Amino acid sequence: MRTTLPEAFPAHTPAVPQIFTIVLSHGPVTRAEIARRAGVSPAAVTKAVRPLIEAGYLVEEAGEDLPPALGRPANALRVDGGRALFIGVKVTGDSAIAVLTDLRCRIRVTRRASLDDRSPDGVLATTGELVTELLVEAEGFGVQVRGIGFAVSGDVVRTDGTVRYSPFLDWRDVPLGERAAAATGLPVTVENDVRALTVAEQWFGAGAGLTDFALVTVGAGIGCGLVVGGRVVSGAHGVAGEIGHLSIDPTGPPCHCGNRGCVEAIASDPAIVREVRARTGIHVADAAEALALARGGDTAARQVYARAGEAIGRAIGSLVNLLGPERVIISGEGLAAHDLFADRIQDAFTVSAFGTAARCEVSTHPLPFEAWARGAAATAIQSFIGSDSRSGGSGWR
């Protein structure tokens, strides 16, 4: 027996997605504050939030305000995360991870599976099982799952749910969204993995409330999500943020892209492993072993990490010079080596950043691997509340 489900999201006035997003990312917030942030009248806020409160998506926060305030005390609003569930799926080259989140993108359940068959059929079969399991879990919460998001690395067309090209999966023009929607009967969003993670950070994470920031992910590859003027950058051809192929040193090691000295050819896990082997003569098997060697005090190995940090710092310097963001968030599995290169990143950045750009704050923000799947869920939430159509607006010309 399942409790009654709330109706579709009552986004019947255009300002609703904006207002809801403000409440979502700015915690409990008063109507007056919402009105100021959104640049609309308080009356408009009152009218917009009423249906949301009635539908249960927003609740009034009792008491706990900033006590010493003049005038009538404000009633803060917050999102009741429990009124809707979402599923986010991250697909890598050899595994899939899926999370069940609430409307506030808090992870409730996590499921993983290894991926033997990378073909579209194989991936759909594996992720389909994960999704089914999570849908069963969801029944325990008595709340319906309102959307599924997929995060895939590569060239993804969000608007039509197509994976144009994914090197890791060796996919070309796969209508993932369409197929997954057909299989599950639920709304499906498909987004590039880094952009999905960026959306999650923009709304719920270290980028909350910022209009200009960058998220740099360090690990098997070096990726980057950009938020400029409050909007996630997709580029004219759907590809952007390729910070991994910024060439830092024209005499640096060759990169698989054909250029030399790319950050990815210096600071990605494979590059580090390769370089540690070359410099120490020790055949480390993977990034973990290379890291252990460096932690053990091997000077040559430590130098490899130092060099990686410098490359990342310089690349971030370039990014900051170009875009002038307020913050750069470094994340990814590669942060395991944080202690070995964090200082180098900061130093190289400080040297590279020009003028006021140096005001940009560069910080590391470790994220568990589920965060990638959480990012996928965030895109599903975005779509559910009707925010994606708007924020993707043309900004005309």
Rounded CA-CA distance 159/191 in Å is: 9
Does residue number 26 form part of the binding site for DNA (CB under 7 A)? no
What's phi and psi for 6, nearest 5 deg?
A: -70, 155
Does residue number 242 form part of the binding site for its own copies (CB under 8 A)? yes
Stretch that binds DNA, among 41-49, 142-150, 252-260, 286-294 (CB under 7 A): 41-49
HSE (side-chain half, CA atoms, 13 Å) at 314 = 18
**Binders of DNA: how many residues, by CB under 7 A?**
28
What's phi and psi for 153, nearest 5 deg?
A: -75, 150
HSE (side-chain half, CA atoms, 13 Å) at 11 = 19
Does residue number 319 form part of the binding site for its own copies (CB under 8 A)? yes
The shares of helix, strand and coil residues in the chain, as percent rounded to the nearest 5, are: 45, 20, 35
Does residue number 198 form part of the binding site for its own copies (CB under 8 A)? no
Does residue number 41 form part of the binding site for DNA (CB under 7 A)? yes
Q: How far is the CB of 233 from its own copies (least distance, A)?
A: 6
Q: Extract the runs of DSSP E, i.e. beta strands, from the chain.
A: 29-30, 58-61, 76-79, 85-91, 95-102, 107-114, 145-152, 155-157, 162-166, 171-174, 188-192, 213-218, 222-228, 231-232, 327-331, 361-364
CA dihedral sign of residues 13, 15, 16, 17: positive
Stretch that binds DNA, among 40-48, 137-145, 359-367, 387-395 (CB under 7 A): 40-48
Residue closer to its own copies (CB basis): 126 or 153: 153
The contact mask relative to its own copies for 86-125 (x = CB under 8 A, - = no) is ----------------------------------------
CB within 8 A of 142, min separation 6: which ones? 2, 3
Does residue number 21 form part of the binding site for DNA (CB under 7 A)? no
Stretch that binds its own copies, among 42-50, 250-258, 290-298, 364-372 (CB under 8 A): 250-258
Q: List contacts with DNA (CB under 7 A).
A: 12-15, 30-33, 39-50, 69-76
Q: List contacts with its own copies (CB under 8 A).
A: 18, 21-22, 25, 37-39, 155, 202-203, 208-213, 224, 226, 228-231, 233-251, 257-259, 314, 317-319, 321-326, 351-352, 354-357, 359-360, 391, 393-397
